[in-house]
Chains A and B, each alone.
Chain A
Amino acid sequence: MSPDSRIDSEKMDTIIGNLLRTGVGLAAALVFTGGLIYLFRHGTEAPGYAVFRGEPADLRTLTGILYDVQSLRGRGIIQLGLLVLIATPIARVAFLAYIFLRQRDMLYTAVALIVLTLLAFSLFGQ
C-alpha cells in the first residue's frame, strides 16, 4: 500500500465516523423535538398499541411526512427523524461507492452499488 492511499484510508475512516455520528445526532434531535410536541399535545390520552391498525397514510410516505412536519405535527417530526436515521447507513454506502470509484476499485464500486440498489428497493420498491 502506498503512503498516499494509507492517508486516504484514514481520512475515509474519519469521514465515515463523522457521517454516521451526524446522521444519528440529527435523527435523535428531530425525534426528541417531535416527541416533546407529541407528548405536550397528546400526553394525557390513552395509548393504543394492543391492536395493530397500521399507521395512517401520511406517516408512511415521504410527502406525507413532510406535509406533517410543515404543520409542526409531533408525530410527523419524529417520523422525519426516523427517516434521517434510515438514510444514515444508506448515505454511508453511497459514500463508500464514491471512495471505491475514486480508488479505481471497480469490483467494490459494483458491490456498493448492488447494496445501494437493494436499499433503494426497500424504500421505494413495491
Chain B
Amino acid sequence: MSILEFTAVVAAGSFFAGFLGAITGLGGGVVIVPLLTIALGVDIRYAIGASLVSVIATSSGAAAAYVKEGFTNVRIGSFLEIATSTGALAGAYLATRLPVAAIGIIFGIVLLYSAYHALRPLPNLSNSNQPPDRWGTLLKLHGTYPSEHGTVSYSVRAVPLGVSLMAVAGVLSGLLGIGSGAVKVIAMDQAMRIPFKVSTTTSNFMIGVTAAASAGIYLRRGYVDPGLAMPVMLGVASGSILGARFLTRAGTPLLRKIFSAAISILALEMIYNSLAGRL
C-alpha cells in the first residue's frame, strides 16, 4: 500500500468514525484508535497522537455552535477544567512510561465500558427539590438555561465527587487520546446533578482544553505524525459535522446496538492483541 492509498483508507475510516461517534454521542476517538491499530497495524502511540488532535477539532467545532444556544455553563466548565487538565497532564506522562500492552488493555476496558454505556440509558436524576451544595454556592456554579417554559434555574451538588471523576476523565483522555465525554457527562449529570443538556454541552466545551493539555506533551515527544494526523483530523471532523446534522432526527436505538456490538469486538481484539504482545 502506498502513502496515497493509506491516506485515503484512513480518511474514509476516520470520516465513518466521526459520523458514528457524533450520532451515538460517544465521540470519534474511541473508534479511531482501535481502527488504526487493529485494522491498519499502526503503532498505538502514533494512533493516540492522531486521535488526540482530531478530538480537539471535533469538540471545538461543536462547542462553537453549542455555546450560542445558552446551555453551556462557562463557570462549571472553567472550574472543572482545572481537574481535567491536571489529569490529562498526568495521563500523558503516564503514556510515555507505561508499556504499550498496558495501554492497550486499559483502552480495551474503557471501550467495553463505552459499549455498555451506549446501551444503558442513564437514570434521570432530577435535582429540583434538593438543597444546593455548599461548594456549588461558594464557587458560583449554579446556573440557568433556556426552555420552552422560560428560564430554568438549577443548582449543583457533590462538587468534590464531580472534581474527582473529572480528574479520572482527564487521565483517560491524556493516556488514551480520547475525549472521555462519557465520563465527563457521568460526573456532571449523575454525580453533580446538572441538567443533561447542560452536562453534555459543558462537557464538550471542556474536551478541547483537556485534549490540548496532553496534546502539547504528545507533540513534543514526537507522537504526533503529520502524515497520519492529517487524514484522521480532516476525516473525523467532517464526519462528525455531518453526523451532528443527523443527530436531531435519529433516535437510533438500533444503531446504538450495532455500534455497541462493534465496539465490544474491537475491545476484545485490543485486549487479546495486547496480551499476545502484538500491539
Contact = CB atoms under 8 A, between A and B. Distances in A.
Contacts of A18: 64
B216 A86 contact: yes
A89 B221 contact: no
B216 A16 contact: no
Contacts of B40: 49
B227 A38 contact: yes
Given A52-B46, A92-B208, A60 B233 contact: no
A119 B85 contact: yes
Interface stretch (B14-22, B74-82, B155-163, B243-251): B74-82
A86 B75 CA distance: 22
B6 interface: yes
A47 B1 CA distance: 8
Contact of B234 (A20, A31, A47, A124): A31
B82 A114 contact: yes
Contacts of B6: 47
A58 to B, nearest CB: 11
B188 interface: no
Interface in B246-269: none
Contacts of A16: 63-64, 67
Interface stretch (B53-61, B104-112, B124-132, B192-200): B53-61
Given A59-B222, A79-B226, A85-B57, A93 B209 contact: yes
Nearest to B225: A55
A7 interface: no
Interface residues of A, number: 62
Contacts of A4: none
B229 A78 contact: yes
A41 B231 CA distance: 16
A24 B224 CA distance: 17
B209 A60 contact: no
Contact residues of A: prevailing secondary structure: helix
A42 B56 CA distance: 27
Contacts of B165: none
B31 interface: no
B1 A46 contact: yes
A53 to B, nearest CB: 8
Contacts of A93: 78, 81, 209
Given A39-B7, A42-B3, A89-B212, A31 B230 contact: yes
A72 interface: no
Interface in B201-237: 208-209, 211-217, 219-231, 233-234, 237
Contacts of A45: 2-3
Contacts of A86: 53, 56, 212, 215-216, 219
B78 A96 contact: yes
Nearest to A123: B216
Contact of B230 (A12, A78, A83, A92): A78
Interface of A: 12-14, 16-18, 20-21, 23-24, 27-28, 31-32, 34-35, 38-39, 42-47, 49-52, 54-56, 59-61, 74-76, 78-79, 82-83, 85-90, 92-93, 96, 107-108, 111-112, 114-115, 118-119, 121-124
22 contacts: A12-B74, A21-B61, A35-B230, A38-B227, A46-B3, A47-B6, A49-B225, A55-B225, A78-B229, A85-B56, A85-B60, A85-B233, A87-B212, A88-B212, A89-B211, A92-B60, A93-B78, A114-B82, A115-B82, A118-B82, A119-B216, A123-B220
| 5 A-B pairs closest in CB distance | A122-B216, A54-B222, A78-B226, A89-B208, A43-B4
